[in-house]
Amino acid sequence: MFKAILIDKQDGQQQVGLETLDESRLPEGDVTVRVDYSTLNYKDALAITGKGPVVRTFPMVPGIDLVGTVESSTSDAYVPGDAVLLNGWGVGEAHWGGLAEKARLDSRWLIPLPSAFTPAQAMAIGTAGYTAMLSVMALEQQGVTPDQGEVLVTGANGGVGSYAIALLARLGYRVVASTGRLEEADYLEGLGAERVIDRAELSEPGRPLAKERWAGVVDSVGSHTLANALAGTRYGGTVTACGLAQGMDLPASVAPFILRGVTLAGIDSVMRPYADRVAAWRRLGELLVPEKLDAITRTIALEETIETANELLAGRIRGRVVVAIQAPSRP
């Protein structure tokens, strides 16, 4: 038996609760993992509250991240006792996820837990930090360098935004943080933001082209914010897009692309190939320091997950939420 957050639907109404389940209910997979930690991401909160069409099949255990120890395996890649990490791959959407004491998974979705991090630290980073690292790597690959000017980070108080600021600042970029919570300016500057602006500067309908301001952008917001970020990006700059907190629409024009040569780079973290995942986590191990993780992270128990999901969608949580599933299996 194991505990899990279980989402179900009956008569068209979603129900969610903390349940005790028999291990025989776990889905198919060649590796069974004892989950030590998971996380609560924006996508998880949408799934738990039913405020977004995240869950594809019912019943579902949410949780797009997990770290834990292999209990049993029929895969040649992992043996019992291995510490493993998972981000994405449709887990928590189409396949039971990490907000449970046990998970049965496809071994191809896993990577070894990086030696630079403890299980708790890996989940403090989670999909948010991993996505932020992929975004920063995309800026680097497009030739955006610290000497070219300011880099904008939207949704700065969120998990992706917080990590993007910390990573960019560590690499020497001058970071401008856009947020709707200006009272968190000290927090954002502590992560490395050079200055903080009100998201209202970017969240309303704007012009096809605006004053050139940004050498690069990490956007997790979408909609008018992304359109205005594109309009304000300097000639030859790059904007990465990885989220939709404001909306899925993009009310923009082609002007930034054909008149300024701006690149819009889409960042998908869910189906990313194994090699990209390992490379991103290696860079995270090189760049992040424990003090930054502590500043970004709040830890809760599995029993607190549903209430905290509502807080997250209400905009009352900054940074990352780590869910301690049970006592960790290693330091």
pLDDT in single tens digits along all 331 residues of the chain: 999 999 999 888 899 999 999 999 999 999 999 999 999 998 999 999 999 889 999 999 999 999 999 999 999 999 999 999 999 999 999 999 999 999 999 999 999 999 999 999 999 999 999 999 999 999 999 999 999 999 999 999 988 999 999 999 999 999 999 999 999 999 999 999 999 999 999 999 999 999 999 999 999 999 999 999 999 999 999 999 999 989 999 999 999 999 999 999 999 999 999 999 999 999 999 999 877 788 889 999 999 999 999 999 888 888 889 999 974 433 3
Residue 119: in which H helix or E strand, if any?
helix 119-141
158 shares its domain with 260? yes
Together in a domain, 108 and 133:
no
Assigned domain for 310 exists: yes
What is the phi-psi region of residue 204: left when phi exceeds 0, alpha when psi lies from -120 to 50, beta otherwise?
Answer: beta
Pair of tokens at residue 124: 């403090």
Q: What is the pTM of this model?
A: 0.91
Expressed as residue numbers, the domain containing 105 is: 2-113+293-324
Are 157 and 245 in a shared domain?
yes
How many other β-carbons are positioned within 10 Å of the β-carbon of residue 116?
14
In a domain, 120, yes or no: no
Q: How far apart are CA 162 and CA 297, in angstroms?
A: 10
Our count of domains for the chain comes to 2
- Count of Cβ atoms closer than 10 Å to residue 286 Cβ: 9
Residues 64 and 103 in one domain: yes
Residue 73: enclosing H or E segment and its boundaries? Answer: strand 65-73
